[in-house]
Structure 1
């Protein structure tokens, strides 16, 4: 115990005397800024980054480029930023996966979501839609729960992969609704939705932007929204919390992080510019069209979001014994 306490004090001392970044932070930015997107091009995270980057580039007077560095559920890109120079020129478009679920699910991870990053700004938040195959005899989340209770262990749900956010959303539903359904992992949304439509799985959570086309064409059936309030894109779809699971609230979120030790002046400038960008009509409307609600706020808002997610998902990960050995 004594050695552990000494280690903690040593870490605190090291952090207190660690350099806070280049002394010329007042000159920032004087070179290209790179935002690492820890997922492949074309996905939801990539879309958010590419919507915000041009506005940041314009307001900062410096080029802001996107670099996709996918792998291990976002952990590869997040690790790269955690190890990057803390000068404000390498940033991370982080998510509820990189900073909320991966640290709990992966048995080995190359970064700590709190210690290794400086929160900059929470950009957007987006609910997921609970959808079902059309042959499943349910019209809403309440009926799905009733069906699952009548047939314990017989229904299956899909996810983007073990430990992904929509995997944990479904496990949260299992836990809060008191039902037992089976997890089938896929390599992303496209194959999952293919199997959902084909009837090989019965339900799944997916992004509103992804599901809205399927819903409007009648290919899948919407059952409920994962967030505490209804989606602005599909306002007629009730939340899961409205359907007999009070307190159910889970959303995907997207945020900007810098490596720990980045000068506070740089963090404050970036935060200010992100908040300004979110006020622009074309940015706000662009996000709303894909089901993302602009959030903004200070770095403290993002820090609180990370802490809340880590606490929420720790219980589910432990209860369901979810883990990934890289």
Structure 2
């Protein structure tokens, strides 16, 4: 199965990490939340299965997501994996990792290597740190990498619960890895008609309730399965309120929203009226004030050019280049080059004179 790493270019499904997809907000509910002193701020990270995408998972969970948001202020956030496998009808199928069976050597048994797992975990850690999340919901490969994400010590704050649908285990140990208690709850939903090699081990590792729900060949998820998931999430919200954690999470969410709004306003203000100190053209061979050089063919290093919003307007550039057009070089650099050119010409003339 070929994989490719692509860079995000637009907020759709064709990049590894476009803006997270959330359920649509009705105008009335949005106004009601604005009137509240604190938003609930309960976000659940939703991870799609292999050969699927964020938009595909959102389609299957639309009814559940709308009900959770409108009645309980709980937001399902859908994330694309960074590994693309195919594109069909404008949507890109993705995987979180690929299994590579290595042939056994003389002294070692057959080994299984997961390609792309590091890239997927790195993306999820960045997303987890970028906004406050409450729990994880994953299907298939999404459940597998979601369970691994909940075990990483550097992922803070830790997820309060996990919902694993047709999950797979990535860790070989069969013993329980998470102590069941007030800080962790887990729900497993499995289809008895589908055989999974490692799903039983995932249940042993994370504990929690197990429900067997048959899909009966349906493309999406049955109403019974959605009701089980919804009831579990509401129970977690009630338990969180009993422990007094709802206000702290709401404050984290409010701070995140304020930071986002502030960043957008600052960027908009600078673009509309850039400060004079930024209205300079970075010389073609310079990429920073420290004198770092733009990378040339075969050279190490390099950097990004100056944003076009901060370039000196062409009508203010008096000097012309060799082609008769306005130069992109800053006037200070032009004066330096002119002085250097004059000095070189004088040296050349003096050296060419007979002694």
Question: Which structure has more RCO (C-alpha within 8 Å, separation ≥ 6)?
Answer: 1
TM-score band, normalised by the shorter chain? under 0.3
- Give TM-score scaled by structure 1 length: 0.28
- Give TM-score scaled by structure 2 length: 0.26
Which structure: larger Rg? 2
